[in-house]
Amino acid sequence: DSEVYLSLSCLLKSRSKRKMHPPLTPHRHPMCLEIIEEFQKCHTEHPIGKFFGECTELKVKLDRCFRQEKAVKRKVNFEQSKKLQERLKAIRKEETAET
């Protein structure tokens, strides 16, 4: 019994170290919409199996999709930031030229 308890506690500890996915709201993740729907369907169809790896493959796909989505957002944000910095630099230059 103690061996079973130890192996279960190790399993639970290793699972608790895994990161949870962000909230699966479709409007926040348009790039991953299909995978989100598949993942939610898998959880609905396999209420117990989801705890034993039934939906793990979809979870991995979802994590990859979220990473790609984040990279795209990061790139867009960086480009917007550069444009804003250039605009502010031009405004400061104009202000110093006027004084």
CA atoms of 55 and 72, how far apart (whole Å): 26
Question: Which one, of 31, 52, 30, lies nearest residue 42 by Cα?
Answer: 52
- CA distances to 36, 76, 89 from 68, in Å: 14, 13, 32
H helices of the chain, in order, are 2-16, 33-45, 56-98
Question: How does pLDDT run along the chain (99 residues), one tens digit per residue?
Answer: 455 444 545 544 444 445 666 778 878 889 999 999 999 999 999 999 989 999 999 999 999 999 999 999 999 999 999 999 999 999 998 888 876
Model's pTM, two decimal places?
0.64
3-state secondary structure (DSSP) of residue 90: helix
Q: What is the model's pLDDT at position 28?
A: 87
Q: What confidence tens digit (pLDDT) does each residue in 40-54 have?
A: 999 999 999 989 999
